[in-house]
Chain A
């Protein structure tokens, strides 16, 4: 299958060419409708890599191609779900969800209708007129998810989207994300530092190491789809994978501590 995202020899240094090297010589292809998780310790540049795909970061060298085109500036083939939700506190749930459509010039009636559908899809029917402050963290991130889904981009970028949520809410959100993605497929690049989350969601786990950030290994995850996280977690292959990743991450930690 053809790749939708093609990253070639990408390096990125913060503070210009002489600055701190965040990513070094990254090569990665991501296929259409593929679910990829970027896993690694903090400082491995996984978020920088994701932001480069979204065009929020321009790499100091190498190239990022999306649909065969070089990414320059905010990439409208991507919709981002942010770690800190990034909801406008002065706007209602409905207005927040419709924001991306509005920026794309979709007319009011159409964008309100689509936003309502997306709100129902993430299970927030009845909350359209609430303000973000009136919602729990999990519900706020559902709004963030709906905002990203509703623009129907071929790629969705997720930056540790469930990192700020408690364990139980995080599990619900993972299940729902899988359900939604199963029904309405698109390429997903999902940044996380949670091993279990990385395995449960992904077709491929991209394991990254730090200082400077680079890709260590790419693992294929072959659990059947649609997936039920609770079943998958009990499988011996899952436990094996988790142990393997745990050991790799520990090695990295020892290497960088030494």
Chain B
């Protein structure tokens, strides 16, 4: 109910603001809603673009998860791994990735590979650092308990460290997903005009502000839906919290 009221107020302010601005570049709420409906259900223009953008996103994010989660676990458990990787993660956290996009494109060309690489660059360090922090928080007493009852190193991993790290792993996966999305859109906007990025630029060039806004909303909705799905899965896994 409160959310609905907030939404109505937001829509009303938008409508009023856009009407009084009276600019070709700022669509009203109703115009945007109409364009959203059109691009999703009438022309369906948004879907192929979204699909093209999503392929590298899914590949890049998948690789990122597959590499970053074990890295984070290793950093939490072994001091050597932590010492080796800490400078790299610190650097990657501080470094803005967008300026690297042209560098990667020059090195790797214009195909799928550079997009995947950039999406990995955007997301991996956030997953790794979250998984590391979360795994380190797993109660050391539990590791000792497991050992005292005869658990092997492997059993300590699978019965204590990994289940204990799951909440942190999910926090990392969620943040990483947001970053992968950012990477996907940015790379298309900066250098590789295909998919959603290309569509956004076309609408901008043609002064189709309503479609520009509508397409942006579709991307945001996809990100939100994925985050919600992930949260539901997470809740299912950590019912014990």
Contact = CB atoms under 8 A, between A and B. Distances in A.
A137 B212 CA distance: 58
B165 to A, nearest CB: 11
A133 interface: yes
A131 B241 CA distance: 9
B222 interface: no
Interface string B132-157: 00000001011011111111000100
Contacts of B241: 89, 133
Contacts of B155: 103
Given A80-B145, A86-B141, A86-B144, A104 B150 contact: yes
B57 interface: no
A133 B146 CA distance: 19
A74 B150 contact: yes
Interface string B222-241: 00000000000000001111
B142 A88 contact: yes
A106 B74 CA distance: 30
A54 interface: yes
Contacts of B145: 80, 82, 86
B141 A89 contact: no
Nearest to A88: B142
A99 interface: yes
B163 interface: yes
A180 B76 CA distance: 40
Q: Which 6 A-B pairs have the closest CB atoms?
A: A86-B145, A100-B149, A103-B150, A131-B240, A90-B240, A86-B141
Given A82-B141, A84-B141, A103-B155, A90 B163 contact: yes
By size class, the interface of chain B is: 20 to 34
A241 interface: no
Nearest to B149: A100
Contacts, number: 55
Interface string A74-109: 101011101010101111000000011001100000
22 contacts: A56-B147, A56-B148, A74-B150, A78-B148, A79-B148, A80-B148, A86-B139, A86-B141, A88-B160, A89-B241, A90-B166, A90-B238, A90-B240, A91-B240, A99-B159, A100-B149, A103-B146, A103-B150, A103-B155, A104-B149, A132-B240, A133-B240
Given A90-B164, A90-B238, A103 B141 contact: no
Contacts of A132: 240
A99 B240 contact: no
Given A56-B144, A131-B240, A133-B240, A88 B163 contact: yes
B158 to A, nearest CB: 11
A99 B158 CA distance: 13
A151 interface: yes
A103 B150 CA distance: 6
A250 B10 CA distance: 71
Nearest to B239: A131
A90 B151 CA distance: 17
Interface string A57-78: 0000000000000000010101
A77 to B, nearest CB: 11
A39 to B, nearest CB: 23
A217 to B, nearest CB: 29
Interface string A193-236: 00000000000000000000000000000000000000000000
A133 to B, nearest CB: 7
Given A82-B141, A103-B155, A74 B240 contact: no
B5 to A, nearest CB: 35
Contacts of A80: 145, 148
Given A103-B155, A131-B240, A133-B240, A86 B150 contact: no
A103 B142 CA distance: 14
A71 B142 CA distance: 21
Given A80-B145, A100-B150, A133-B240, 13 more contacts: A55-B148, A56-B147, A86-B139, A88-B142, A88-B159, A88-B160, A88-B163, A90-B163, A91-B163, A99-B149, A99-B159, A100-B149, A103-B149
